[in-house]
Amino acid sequence: MLYSSLVEIYEKMEATTKKLEKRDILAAFFKNAKGSLYKAVHLSMGIVPTGEAEIGVAQKMMIRVICQTYGIEEGSIMKKFKDLGDLGSVAEYFAEHRRQKSFSKKELTIDMVFDNIRLLPKIEGKGSVEKKISLVSELLSSASPKESLYIVRTVLSNMRIGVAHGVVRDAIAFAFNKDPKEVEHAWHLTSDFGRVAEMAKEGDLRAHVQLFRPMNVMLAERAPNLEEALRTFENPAVEVKLDGFRAIIHKKGGRIKIFSRRLEDVTVQFPDLLSWAKDCLRAEECIVEGEVLAVDPKTRQPRPFQHLSRRIQRKYEIEKMVKEIPIRIDLFELVHLDGSDYMKEPLRRRWSELKKIVQEKPGHFQLIDHIETKDLKEAEKFYRHALAIGEEGVVIKNLDAHYQPGRRVGFWLKVKPIMEPLDLVVVGAEWSEGKRAKTLGSLILAARDGKKFLETGRMASGLIEKKSKENPDLPTLEELTKILKPLVIEEQGKIVKIKPQVVVEVGYEEIQKSPKYPTGYALRFPRLLRMRIDEKKPEDANTVKDIEKLFSQQKRFKR
Ligand code: AMP
């Protein structure tokens, strides 16, 4: 198939903004593509898939390609580049005004363009720049002005004509008489429209997840709160939501690969995870998923995400990084096991099979915290604990649902505090009971309203008996009592009134309207994040107006 026929498509696509027209143009082209369908689909999107490798031709190198192909000085090219703003158009211009007509002109085919570009990332080592330049130049020498424009843009991965995902999906469906939903599903499993088009043409879109090919993973939707999330499913599981990096591990015999949620191969960055997967996955062949976290080397408890991101990005001195930034993985999914696709199985089955094949290595390679309950109290306790140990929240999962790759279909619901923390003033407290009777327990919090402080809730979460390793700045109940006792101005039974002086940073899940408090609002699941005694005065605390504003933002934010 001639490359010029693809150029016609580009021109037609550029000439219309209507999605349906774009779909019809592409569909007709795909139908005609015959043996080059795979390449035609990719090139129509301005892409040549090169796996993890990059094409490796940047603007500077492309300028040298243009110099060499048309025998033009760099200065003139730069001048044109300034005028036109795009190297594709520069190549088009010089192709039109070519001094020497090319004698070796052969008609370019889609295969030739695709194959030459696909070779580029494979060229490495000495003389690689020259080799790359001549490979692209070879294409340009045979190209018409318009062809040059699109070849340059494709090599630079900057096509400038937007061919949206949905248009390609619908064009494949339309060309081969398939349901766009099926096409979309197959894309999630393969993340490759070229292959999907071939499958659609052959009439079988029943894509399966494939070992060692990345897939789009299942995603979670946001739930407004725990109660509603639990109510959504007949049989819910509650899992801790960890703030880490999703890893998808593919294993067959001794071969293992690790992919990210963005379909990148990250095997090289995680030799530790690779070796645990070898030892701890008791299956000949499987695909499992989990959340990778950076951890403290001694306690194996999570450290903030920024540590982990250094690990993900680093591609050299890996062994040093493994020592500096130890990790652990908490596994939560199984989508393939010993030749069987588990995506159609309910979560209940996937989780039970996962448990069977994972030989845990605590603190390194382990199963995620998972309970199965519909009881709000039990789930709340689990949720509070997750927040107290610094995790993001929980994910409520439907135990009866299958695995839906790449979509937020509502089989998983995430519940996490969505709001930015508030700085509130402690205006009261309550003496504890029993053994802890000498310490103040829950705190009464207030927001500022002009010069007054209006109560807006009580907080007991985050008030701890013993020093926390994860958050050593958090005071113990005893320390808190020492700070607050001198400020007590009145006592009524177990309740004390406190002079408004101490500001605390409070996290919570959501703001609710409440007639119980003079601000008219209450916080759901408030918890102490830190003391702000040295940084903030009561007059710096958040106001009732701030709470009102956050409340209305939150309503818009909920999905
Ligand atoms: P979000 O990025 O907020 O949509 O949340 C989805 C991400 O949470 C997933 O891609 C995972 O990386 C992460 N995650 C953490 N814990 C879990 C869990 N228990 N189940 C599923 N995903 C989890």
CATH number at residue 531: 2.40.50.140
Ligand 1 centroid vs 433 CA: distance in angstroms? 39
Cβ of 291 below 6 Å from ligand 1: yes
CA distance readout (Å), 181 to 18, 134, 188, 203, 406: 21, 43, 11, 15, 12
Give per-residue pLDDT as tens, 166-181: 999 999 999 999 999 9
pLDDT score recorded for residue 447: 97
Q: Looking at 33-164, list the stretches that DSSP marks H as alpha helix, in order from N- to C-terminal side.
A: 37-44, 59-70, 74-84, 87-96, 110-119, 128-142, 145-155
Cβ of 239 below 6 Å from ligand 1: yes
Q: What angle do CA 293, 247, 402 make, to 5 degrees?
A: 120
Percent of the chain with pLDDT over 90: 66
Q: What dihedral do alpha carbons 536, 540, 542, 544 form, nearest 10°? A: 140
Ligand 1 centroid vs 241 CA: distance in angstroms? 6
Both tokens of 24, joined, read 């019809």
Same domain? 140 vs 17:
yes
Whose Cα sits closest to atom 10 in ligand 1? 246
Q: Which residues contact 405 (CB under 8 A, 6 or more apart)?
A: 185, 188, 189, 209, 215, 216, 217, 218, 343
239-248, 271-280, 514-523, 548-557: which has the minimum mean pLDDT? 548-557
Q: What is the spatial distance between Cα 518 and Cα 498, in angstroms, rounded to a whole number?
A: 17
Q: What is the spatial distance between Cα 172 and Cα 197, in angstroms, rounded to a whole number?
A: 6
Nearest residue to 55 (alpha-carbon basis) of 147, 9, 1, 118: 118
CATH of the domain at 360: 3.30.470.30
Q: What is the spatial distance between Cα 501 and Cα 205, in angstroms, rounded to a whole number?
A: 66
User: In this structure, is residue 467 part of a structural domain?
Assistant: yes
Q: What is the spatial distance between Cα 302 and Cα 470, in angstroms, rounded to a whole number?
A: 8
pLDDT classification of 558: cutoffs 50, 70, 90: very low
* Type of residue at 245: F
Same domain? 354 vs 491:
no
Same domain? 536 vs 390:
no
pLDDT score recorded for residue 549: 83
Which of 386, 415, 444 finishes a domain?
415
On the question of pLDDT at 299 being above 90, the answer is: yes
Task: Please answer whether residues 335 and 357 qualify as being in contact, where contact means their C-beta atoms are separated by less than 8 angstroms.
Answer: no
Same domain? 447 vs 553:
yes
Segment 122-126 shows an average pLDDT of: 87
Which helix (H) or strand (E) segment is 335 a member of? strand 327-337
One DSSP character per residue, 199-239 reads HHHHT-------TTS--PPP--EE-S-HHHHHHH-SSEEEE
Which of 100, 128, 155 finishes a domain?
155
Same domain? 310 vs 346:
yes
Q: What's the number of domains the chain is made of?
A: 3
Nearest residue to 523 (alpha-carbon basis) of 538, 506, 540: 506
Same domain? 231 vs 332:
yes
User: In this structure, is residue 276 part of a structural domain?
Assistant: yes
pLDDT score recorded for residue 103: 53
pLDDT score recorded for residue 369: 96
Segment 476-483 shows an average pLDDT of: 92
Same domain? 112 vs 138:
yes
User: In this structure, is residue 135 part of a structural domain?
Assistant: yes
Same domain? 12 vs 55:
yes
Both tokens of 103, joined, read 């004698």
pLDDT score recorded for residue 158: 82
Q: What is the spatial distance between Cα 51 and Cα 257, in angstroms, rounded to a whole number?
A: 14
Which helix (H) or strand (E) segment is 260 a member of? strand 255-260
Same domain? 522 vs 398:
no
Which of 155, 176, 191 finishes a domain?
155
Cβ of 395 below 6 Å from ligand 1: yes
pLDDT score recorded for residue 104: 57
User: In this structure, is residue 386 part of a structural domain?
Assistant: yes
Cβ of 351 below 6 Å from ligand 1: no
pLDDT score recorded for residue 99: 63
Cα dihedral across residues 154, 159, 164, 170: positive or negative: negative
pLDDT classification of 500: cutoffs 50, 70, 90: very high
Q: Which residues contact 401 (CB under 8 A, 6 or more apart)?
A: 233, 346, 347, 411
Q: What is the spatial distance between Cα 475 and Cα 529, in angstroms, rounded to a whole number?
A: 10
Percent of the chain with pLDDT over 70: 97
User: In this structure, is residue 53 part of a structural domain?
Assistant: yes
Q: What is the spatial distance between Cα 424 and Cα 521, in angstroms, rounded to a whole number?
A: 13
Nearest residue to 321 (alpha-carbon basis) of 362, 269, 363: 269
Q: What is the spatial distance between Cα 307 and Cα 320, in angstroms, rounded to a whole number?
A: 14
Give per-residue pLDDT as tens, 72-94: 999 999 999 988 888 999 999 99
Q: Which residues contact 145 (CB under 8 A, 6 or more apart)?
A: 92, 93, 95, 96
CATH of the domain at 118: 1.10.3260.10
Ligand 1 centroid vs 260 CA: distance in angstroms? 12
pLDDT score recorded for residue 224: 76
Ligand 1 centroid vs 414 CA: distance in angstroms? 8
User: In this structure, is residue 148 part of a structural domain?
Assistant: yes
Report the chain's terminal Cα–Cα distance, integer Å.
Answer: 47
pLDDT score recorded for residue 557: 41
Same domain? 391 vs 499:
no
Atom of ligand 1 nearest to the CA of 394: 19
Cβ of 10 below 6 Å from ligand 1: no
467 is catalytic: no
User: In this structure, is residue 106 part of a structural domain?
Assistant: yes
Domain extent, residue 107, equals 3-155
Cβ of 407 below 6 Å from ligand 1: no
Same domain? 513 vs 481:
yes
Whose Cα sits closest to atom 11 in ligand 1? 246
Q: What is the spatial distance between Cα 216 and Cα 436, in angstroms, rounded to a whole number?
A: 51
Same domain? 8 vs 124:
yes
Segment 299-328 shows an average pLDDT of: 87
Helix (H, G, I), strand (E, B) or coil at 344: coil
> What order do you get walking across the sheet with 236-241 strand by strand?
221-222, 412-415, 393-398, 236-241, 370-372
Which entry of 178, 241, 397, 416 is annotated as an active-site residue? 241
Give per-residue pLDDT as tens, 217-268: 999 988 878 998 999 999 999 999 998 899 999 999 999 999 998 888 999 9
β-pair partners for 327: 294
On the question of pLDDT at 56 being above 90, the answer is: no
Which residue in this structure is represented by tokens 């248009």? 167
Helix (H, G, I), strand (E, B) or coil at 30: helix
Ligand 1 centroid vs 43 CA: distance in angstroms? 34
One DSSP character per residue, 11-28 reads HHHHH---HHHHHHHHHH
Q: Which residues of 129-161 are buried (b: 16+ CB within 10 A; e: fewer)?
A: eeebbebbbebbbbbbebbbbbbbbbbbeebeb
Judge residue 112's burial from the number of C-beta atoms within 10 Å of its C-beta, 0-12 exposed, 13-18 middle, 19 or more buried.
middle
Cβ of 219 below 6 Å from ligand 1: yes
Q: What is the spatial distance between Cα 93 and Cα 76, in angstroms, rounded to a whole number?
A: 12
CA distance readout (Å), 51 to 120, 122, 141, 213: 12, 11, 27, 10
User: In this structure, is residue 118 part of a structural domain?
Assistant: yes
Which residue in this structure is represented by tokens 């010089």? 94
Q: Which residues contact 217 (CB under 8 A, 6 or more apart)?
A: 246, 248, 261, 289, 405, 406
